[in-house]
Structure formats: structure tokens, C-alpha cells
A and B are shown apart, each in its own frame.
Chain A
Amino acid sequence: MLRPIRNFSLVSAIFAICGLVACSTIATFDQAAYDKATGAKAEALALMDKATGSFNSHLTEIEAVNLTIDKAYEYDRGRLQNSITVQQWEVLRDPNKNLFGGFIRRWREKGSLKPDYITEKKKDIADAFDQITGLEIGKPKNH
């Protein structure tokens, strides 16, 4: 049906509605966030190899890696509509859970860790970081 229009009011209205509705539910892809997560993964896995040695003799390195992870986490916390990635970081960092935060807690409590345990745990920590980068890659490239 062809309805007459005197001006472009209808089209303008459609544009206006679309402009208002064009919202997003998740942050767009961020290369810096992706780079920070992959960098943190590499540092974390390299540190884990040293956990056969004593916790106290690696304090400086442990603090450095924790700082790298904290920076990546804080960067993601500062992004709009990024709560899911932030939750992932919180699971990874939580010392009361059983991923990287838990690994560091166990290293501190036990003094040192067994090589076979470390080898196996590294697979999980790598997988955990991959869940973060996998989500980042899957975010819309732009809106």
C-alpha cells in the first residue's frame, strides 16, 4: 500500500527510533584488553614452572605477575558493559577458588609444589585464560 507523505517525517521517525534503540548488551572487541590477557597468560604459565622452588625465593616474580594480572583485570573493569569478562577474571584470581589465585595460595601454604601437579595445573590455567581471550575475540568488532 502506497501511503502519501508530505515530507520525510515518517522516515525521520524511523531513523530516530533506530538511533535510540541501537544499544548493545556487551562491550566491543578491544585489542588492548586481548593483548593484556595473552601477556598475563604467558607470564602466569612461566611463573608456574618455578613453583617447584620455594615460594619465598620467588616473591618478587610472584608480585610482578600478580600486578600484570591486576592491570588486565582493572583495564577490563573500566570498560562499559564488560561485566562478564570481569566475572571471568574474578574466578581466575580468587585465592579461595582453584585456578591461578588458588595456585598461588597453595604455593604459599605448601612452600613448593610437585612437578606433576604443576604440569597438570598449567593446562587448566592456560584454558582459563583462553576462556577470557575467547570471549574477547567473539565480541562485536564495532557497532
Chain B
Amino acid sequence: MPGFDTDAFTSTSLSKSKDLAAILFKKYVTQAESDTSDFLQRSKDGVTRAGLLYAENKIDRDDFEDLVLGKKDLAEMHALKQAGLASATIDTFTNGVLQIVLDAALTAVKF
């Protein structure tokens, strides 16, 4: 009579899902940290350059304020990008787990 190895199904699914999570989320965190660090450095450099231009009278106060406020809007866009990339990582993980479960279920069926 055909059977279904529930222990093998459960242990295989859990083990492979853990491995997938470790790889995907570590990669996401590493990239997010690097991307955010680069972004903050660019913002800092930009504000410094704007300050110098203002001090040298090459731009007026309105220009300077606009450049500084633009960094805030850029930060919002950066945060939105990171939120979207987190969602994309979760989707990749979810679909990966579903594939793992399907594969484990097929393997656990004994004829």
C-alpha cells in the first residue's frame, strides 16, 4: 500500500527552509548595509559641497536650503527602495519554501 513518510517530509522541509532563509536574508542584510552606507556617504558629501558653494557665494540661501532638503527626499526614496527590496526577498523566500515543500512531499510518497 502506498505510504507517506511524514517525518522525512517535515525534517527535510524544515532543514532546507532554514538553509534558504540563512542564505537569502544574510545576502539582503549585507547588501542593504552596504547600500545604505554608500547612500549616507553621498548625502554627507553633498551637504558639505552645498555648504562650500554657499560659503563661496556661488549659490544663494534658497539654493542651499533646496539642496539640503533634497537629501531628505532622497532618503525617503532610499527607504522606499529598501522596503521594496525586503518585500522582494520575502517573496523569493516564500516561493522557495513552497518549492521545498512540494519537492519534499513528492519524495516522501512511497509506492
Are A and B interaction partners?
A: yes
Query: Complex: how many Å from CA A97 to CA B13?
Result: 48
Q: How many residues on chain B are close to A (CB under 8 Å)?
A: 48
> Within residues 104 to 123 of chain A, which ones have a CB less than 8 A from any CB in chain B?
106, 113-114, 116-117, 120-121, 123
Q: Are B53 and A131 within 8 A (Cβ)?
A: no
The proximity string for A residues 1-16 relative to B, scoring 1 for CB distances below 8 Å and 0 otherwise, is 1111111101100110
Q: Is B19 an interface residue (CB 8 A)?
A: no
Prevailing SS type, chain A contact patch: helix
> Within residues 4 to 54 of chain A, which ones have a CB less than 8 A from any CB in chain B?
4-8, 10-11, 14-15, 18, 21-26
Residues on B facing A (Cβ under 8 Å): 1-7, 35, 42, 46, 49-50, 53, 58-60, 62-63, 66-67, 69-74, 76-78, 80-81, 83-85, 87-88, 90-92, 94-95, 98, 101-102, 105-106, 109-110
Q: List 24 A-B contacts (CB under 8 A).
A: A4-B3, A6-B1, A8-B109, A10-B105, A11-B109, A21-B94, A24-B95, A85-B84, A91-B77, A97-B73, A98-B67, A98-B72, A99-B77, A102-B73, A114-B59, A116-B53, A116-B58, A120-B46, A123-B46, A124-B46, A127-B42, A138-B84, A140-B92, A143-B91
Residues on A facing B (Cβ under 8 Å): 1-8, 10-11, 14-15, 18, 21-26, 84-85, 87-88, 91-92, 97-99, 102, 106, 113-114, 116-117, 120-121, 123-124, 127-128, 131-132, 134-135, 138-140, 143
